[in-house]
Structure 1
Amino acid sequence: MIQWLEPRQFATEADRSAMANPAVIEPFGAPRSLPRMLFDFAILTACITPNHPDLPVLDFGAGSGWITEFLGRMGKQVVAFDIHGDLESCLRMRIAADQRLASHQIGFEHGDGHQMPFDDRSFSNLLCYDTLHHMHSYPKVFEEFFRILAPGGRAIFVEPGAKHSKSADTIAFLKQQKAHDPSWIERDVVLEEIDEIARQAGLTGLTVVPMPHPDRLVTFNIKAWGQFRNALPSFSKTMARKKFCDRLANVNYNERVIFYTDRQL
């Protein structure tokens, strides 16, 4: 017989409130796709360089702090950085709601990504999730990335792609956001442009990490997959593989891009 655990008893009303706060339960219960967010987080962390384990990781554009929380669960020392004023309260509620988090490993700072309040060479890695495309000046931001990363450090990105600003969803969302924040922008992230900007800032060229879109997975039954993998060269097999590769290439350029750039040792 299944035995269900007793509901957790929270000590204070603040704890109970935190568990119902959308800014604290994200990514679970978030309006965005949970599979996509967890998939993206896995890729971000898979790209983290082990260089400088004594230095913290920067969660650039931390938002509600969910990536900061997850990195903290991994045992990372992490600093959440965002321009919005609710960052500290989000982090404190997350720490209060999850006893697995060591609060001394989590820091925060408010500010503008174009001029960050950090010392030179302060971070081992920088994670940027759906934030770069809101920046007004890519060159200034990448100059800051170069400055605050230690030699051998890495900046890792998951961003919308080259056609982001032109999509109907983005146009509608931008109109909604500008109603209460006129400075809000939605930009495209074009790999060739970012590659050149990163190089000019002193970083390496981009390393692209192509991945399927987790909301639109390509699937095969076992027979079709065996034929796709093992059949002798044929026109139909060649066309199937071309279609698969074309789709992967399109997703990882126009729709969403995953990449990183390093500060060389």
Structure 2
Amino acid sequence: MATTASAKERQGISPLFLAFVAITLVSGWAVWSRSLAANAGFAVFLFVVAGWVVSLCLHEYAHARTALHSGDLSVEAKGYLRLNPLAYSHALLSIVLPVVFVIMGGIGLPGGAVFIERHRIQGRWRHSLISAAGPLVNLVCAVGLLLPLGLGWLSSSPIEFQAAMAFLGFLQVTATLLNLLPVPGLDGYGVIEPWLSHKLRRQVEPFAPFGLLAVFGLLWVPEINRVFFDVIYGLMRDLGAPPELASFGGSLFRFWQ
């Protein structure tokens, strides 16, 4: 009985994750119905932050689920498959810092990956797929949020709701692009790392903890910043979502300003 209960507990969805899903749905309804018309910005803030946490959990879950099917059975015992944001080996990097950067700078900062026991996994393609799984989730989220706007499915909805969807979609696009950069410490490097020589991997390994900081620092360079956001806005336009709508969503999100 105890073993069965323990197994169910390991496999069940985390109540904390379900709470964030509920906050996303309720705050999204509040924006849609304008039930908080006097403070629409706060409802947009809750919708975006909770929705962003949900996507971060799904991002890390995708890494863990792919690793499980690739041979790392330890991810289940670690609780990674429950979508619990507190279960990740780098909760600060995976959840807290990305949320802080969304609040401070309005950019989808990629988080730290779950701890995968790579020695259990055979085959370079499997290692690459594990690293790619997370950013692919962000890409799916971006398409799911922005494509309905581009197709006009939400044209009759309040502009505040469209703006909130666009801003959350904008964050997903930035997270996808940043995560896929072939920089040590990011998922993009994890995709190509199995195909590099052992010597080169050993040389690059000490720089992995600083890769994300280096990318963030480079984004402060005006020329690089301009190119980066030109790409982001171009991808949004390809999906039919005007970047101006995301900017309006960002201004609603920062309701305290």
Please give the TM-score of this superposition, normalised by the length of structure 1.
Answer: 0.24
With a CA cutoff of 8 Å and minimum separation of 6, indicate the structure with the bigger relative contact order.
2
- Between structure 1 and structure 2, the one with the greater Rg is 1
Q: Which has the higher helix share?
A: 2
Please give the TM-score of this superposition, normalised by the length of structure 2.
Answer: 0.25
Q: Which has the higher strand share?
A: 1
